[in-house]
């Protein structure tokens, strides 16, 4: 496609403008976490680290951080196991109803979170199950399965099928083939899917709100609940910055792992 | 493993080998793999969705305030015939469409530049740089946008945008649309970028050789080929925007969308009415998925 130098320049400018718009608000939150004022309004009044120093004393924030991490870890584990099983089944076999199942797998992220959240809550309440840690795990695992599944199936598609055939021809049992041939090839994709599932769960707020009872508060819920409380509001910027600082390198790692060439 | 190789290959209805390109395998291995994830998705997820539809017909006990199994159509008729709620749904769809279009308008040139014009090294860096914010946290970004979009006040401590350019949309539907587009932009960018990378150069060259200008090539060659990718991206931007109620709380001011009504009904608490309201986004999304499926979106999810 022949593009005039002007068109090229415009496209380039749009791209870098988008990049700027994407990162500007994030930079803003970072700057505001050092604001000495008790508000999150721009411009900052003065420089202060008092919110960062006081942050560790906010017990509710610590608890929320901890329960979010526990939650995301369990949801990630379920997602990796179920998502990988699903990916193997869909990649290696042809069977009746395969398309329906692939559609079913993406449904939890294709439907709005509020639909998933209200539906699960409705079920839990009707059957008298307590809303708490386990109900939130169930909700999170439901949409995390998709992420794990997508990562694993993408990798499985790129592995040459003759590797497994060669392994079998050399006398390996299916389990040996999995352990010595398939697993080393998909390991990084499973890990990447797991990390993304963890991040997705760590960040989720809608399904969480509807499936969590009074006993549990996740990090996003903590942020949301303190949004309307002026005394704690500046801590929200600290928490937000922390989340960013922790999640950016992890997401970068997941990206690298997911892209890395098998073998 | 000799005996396995000699086994007659199992053949499905379509005449293909059960194990695809690999060796024939016993079908119980397939069911072993499928059973647990399928049970989860069917029982926990599809089961809940079905129950939700049913419970929209349940009535509320006057004394306990809890849903009973007595059937009524009053929730449905309230959610689907009252003008107030219908206009709310129309507004929600309008916001979701606007956010989706905005995402597309920005993702298309950006993805084109990255996939087709940028050098190999910058391409990699740009893709990662634009996807990373996806993982910085939904609320973090929503609050960041609140700080950006806040209207200026008389005390001079307004938002970033009004300070910078002297104007901001303030809190309302425009702010909600902008924030949603900001939040879901990577979901539109990624599939379009992947689609552009797969697009063979020869097709674009052929179009140019036949005398088409770049705009014509874009409209008649590139756009039709990218349609499945765009459809796939739009499923996420549309769906995530349609059900959103938290962004509305953070930057919406007095604005209300369908998600807020669902939440309000649930907190009332009126579970059956909330279920009836939830049928709206569910039906809209099913219709949307059906249309986008025809455009080939599911091959690109």
Looking at CA atoms only, how far is residue A170 from chain B in angstroms? 9
Mean pLDDT within A253-260: 73
Closest residue of chain B to A83, computed from CA coordinates? B37
Closest residue of chain B to A222, computed from CA coordinates? B139
8 A C-beta contact, residue A120 and residue A139? yes
Residue with tokens 């004393």: A57
Contact assignment for B126 to A8 by CB distance below 8 Å: no
Mean pLDDT within B47-56: 91
- Which of A122, A159, A233, A235 is the mutation pick for testing B, counting most B CBs within 10 A? A122
> Confidence class of residue B300 from pLDDT cuts 50, 70 and 90?
low
Mean pLDDT within A190-209: 88
pLDDT for residue B9 is more than 60: no
Give the tens place of pLDDT for each residue, A89-148: 988 888 888 888 888 888 888 889 899 999 999 899 888 888 888 999 999 999 899 889
Looking at chain B, the whole-number percentage of residues with pLDDT higher than 70 is: 87
Task: Return d(Cα A54, Cα A75) in angstroms, integer.
Answer: 31
Cα four-point dihedral sign A56, A59, A63, A64: negative
> Confidence class of residue B153 from pLDDT cuts 50, 70 and 90?
low
B212-221 long-range contacts (CB < 8 A, ≥24 apart) are B214/A1, B214/A2, B214/A3, B214/A4, B214/A7, B217/A1, B218/A1
pLDDT for residue A46 is more than 90: no
Contact assignment for A3 to B214 by CB distance below 8 Å: yes
Give the tens place of pLDDT for each residue, B157-202: 566 777 777 777 888 899 999 999 999 999 899 899 989 988 888 8
Mean pLDDT within A29-56: 76
* CB proximity list for A239: less than 8 A, separation 6 or greater: A55, A61, A219, A222, A223
> Confidence class of residue A40 from pLDDT cuts 50, 70 and 90?
low
What's the pTM? 0.85
Looking at chain A, the whole-number percentage of residues with pLDDT higher than 90 is: 23
Half-sphere exposure of B207 (CA within 13 A, CB side): 18
Helix B223-242 × helix B271-294 angle, to 10°: 180
Q: Helix or strand or coil: residue B59?
A: strand
Looking at CA atoms only, how far is residue B83 from chain A in angstroms? 22
């Amino acid at each position: 496609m022949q593009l005039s130098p002007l068109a090229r320049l415009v496209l380039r400018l749009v791209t870098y403008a988008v990049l700027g718009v994407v990162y500007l608000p994030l930079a803003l939150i970072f700057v505001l976490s050092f604001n000495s004022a008790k508000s999150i309004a721009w411009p900052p009044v003065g420089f202060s680290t008092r919110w960062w120093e006081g942050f560790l004393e906010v017990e509710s924030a610590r608890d929320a951080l901890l329960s979010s991490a526990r939650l995301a870890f369990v949801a990630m584990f379920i997602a990796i196991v179920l998502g990988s099983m699903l990916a193997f089944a869909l990649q290696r076999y042809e069977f009746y109803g395969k398309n329906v199942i692939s559609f079913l797998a993406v449904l939890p992220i294709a439907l709005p979170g509020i639909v998933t959240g209200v539906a699960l809550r409705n079920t839990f309440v009707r059957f008298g199950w307590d809303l708490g840690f386990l109900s939130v795990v169930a909700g999170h695992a439901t949409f995390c399965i998709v992420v794990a599944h997508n990562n694993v199936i993408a990798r499985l598609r790129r592995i040459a099928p003759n590797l497994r055939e060669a392994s079998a021809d050399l006398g390996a049992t299916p389990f040996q083939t999995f352990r010595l041939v398939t697993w080393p090839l998909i390991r990084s994709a499973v890990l990447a899917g797991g990390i993304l599932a963890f991040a997705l769960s760590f960040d989720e707020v809608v399904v969480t709100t509807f499936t969590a009872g009074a006993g549990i508060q996740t990090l996003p819920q903590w942020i949301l609940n303190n949004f309307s409380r002026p005394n704690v509001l500046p801590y929200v910027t600290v928490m937000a910055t922390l989340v960013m600082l922790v999640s950016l390198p992890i997401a970068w790692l997941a990206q690298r792992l997911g892209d890395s060439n098998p073998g | 493993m000799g005996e396995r190789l000699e086994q007659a290959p199992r053949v499905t209805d379509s005449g293909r080998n059960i194990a695809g390109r690999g060796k024939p395998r016993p079908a119980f291995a397939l069911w072993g793999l499928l059973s647990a994830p399928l049970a989860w998705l069917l029982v926990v997820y599809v089961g809940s969705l079905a129950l939700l539809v049913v419970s929209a017909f349940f009535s509320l006990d006057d004394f306990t305030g809890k849903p009973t199994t007595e059937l009524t159509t009053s929730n449905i008729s309230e959610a689907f015939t009252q003008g107030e709620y219908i206009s709310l749904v129309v507004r929600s769809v309008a916001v979701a469409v606007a956010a989706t279009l905005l995402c597309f308008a920005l993702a298309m040139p950006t993805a084109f530049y990255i996939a087709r014009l940028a050098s190999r090294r910058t391409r990699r860096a740009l893709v990662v740089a634009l996807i990373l914010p996806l993982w910085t946290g939904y609320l973090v970004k929503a609050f960041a946008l609140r700080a950006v979009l806040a209207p200026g006040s008389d005390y001079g401590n307004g938002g970033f945008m009004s300070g910078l350019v002297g104007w901001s949309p303030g809190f309302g539907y425009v702010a909600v649309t902008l924030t949603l587009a900001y939040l879901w932009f990577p979901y539109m960018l990624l599939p379009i970028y992947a689609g552009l990378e797969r697009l063979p150069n020869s097709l674009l060259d052929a179009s140019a050789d036949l005398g088409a200008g770049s705009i014509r090539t874009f409209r008649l060659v590139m756009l039709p080929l990218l349609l499945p990718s765009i459809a796939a991206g739009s499923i996420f931007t549309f769906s995530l925007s349609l059900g959103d109620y938290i962004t509305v709380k953070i930057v919406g001011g007095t604005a209300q969308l369908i998600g807020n009504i669902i939440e309000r009904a649930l907190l009332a608490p009126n579970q059956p009415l909330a279920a009836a309201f939830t049928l709206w986004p569910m039906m809209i999304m099913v219709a949307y998925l059906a249309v986008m499926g025809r455009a080939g979106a599911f091959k690109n999810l």
